[in-house]
Amino acid sequence: MSTLEEAKKAVVEEFSMYDEWLDKYEYLIELGKNLEPYPEEDKTEDKLIKGCQSRVWLDSRFEDGKIFFKADSDAIITKGIISLLIGVYSGRTPEEIAGDDFGFINEIGLKENLSPTRANGLVSMIEKIKELAKEKSAADVLTAEDAKALAPLYDNVVLALKQVYDPEIPVNVYDLGLIYELIINKKHEAFIKMTFTAPTCPMADEVLSEVKKSVSDVPGITACEVELTFDPPWDQSMLSDEARIDLGMD
């Protein structure tokens, strides 16, 4: 596999072969046609990239220290753009992706030759790819000694989460099993993936903000990112023993 720099250089050279942007758009369309098929069952709300005019789904897997992406879109140009991006970055380490400036996009003039809405979508795609890389990097770089040193901070974050309650059930979000993933990296940045008992929760935005604020306020935490997902859907098996007692289920 080529290096990241080689892959970016190849894209720049490929685009330089075309003098007209109409031809470059055709090239993007062809890239989209060659994109690996994306399973319909994986086209879920949590995989959609926010900020894109067209629907763009992006998923990733972490394997052997590298991130592999798959994606799809319901618009042909947008599908070509996301295909271009994952063609360069899929199969790279989280550190490579998170530390890259994506400057080759400016070199080929892509953003400047898109409509304002598509240009904003491009920025959203780049931000999402970097976000996923940052999350995986946080999970990968910790040694056993790091984890041991961070244990007290982790415990304090859990205590903070237990101060945030579901708006419809009198149990905190942690004991409800709404916290699917909690990662703290060497920089003491917290990454949280959480859900709700139902996708239609009317107070979702408020609870997400409260989770972020509560964790951010923990002494020692330098930043907090919260991601919402409904995969897998929440069910009662995720309740803690404490929650079951509080709800009279035991």
> Tokens 């990968």 sit at which residue?
140
Q: 150 or 128: whose pLDDT is higher?
A: 128
Instruction: Name the segment(s) of the chain with CATH classification 3.30.300.130.
Output: 144-246
CATH topology assigned to domain 144-246:
GMP Synthetase; Chain A, domain 3 (3.30.300)
Q: How far is CA 215 from CA 50, 125, 160, 161, 169, in A?
A: 24, 27, 6, 7, 21
CATH topology assigned to domain 4-137:
Sufe protein. Chain: A (3.90.1010)
201 has catalytic annotation: no
Q: What angle do CA 222, 209, 202 make, to 5 degrees?
A: 160
pLDDT at residue 139 in the model: 55
Q: What is the pLDDT of residues 192-217, one digit of tens each?
A: 989 999 888 888 999 999 999 999 99
Please report which helix (H) or strand (E) contains residue 138, including its range.
helix 116-140
- Cα separation, 87 vs 174, in Å, equals 38
Q: Which of 47-51, 63-67, 145-149 has the lowest mean pLDDT?
A: 145-149
Active-site residue (options: 52, 56, 110, 184):
52
**Token pair for 16:** 């330089």
Are 33 and 54 within 8 A, CB to CB? no
Q: In a 10 Å sphere around its CB, with 0-12 CB exposed, 13-18 middle and 19+ buried, how is residue 191 labelled?
A: buried
Q: What is the pLDDT of residues 20-55, one digit of tens each?
A: 999 999 999 999 999 999 999 989 988 999 888 899
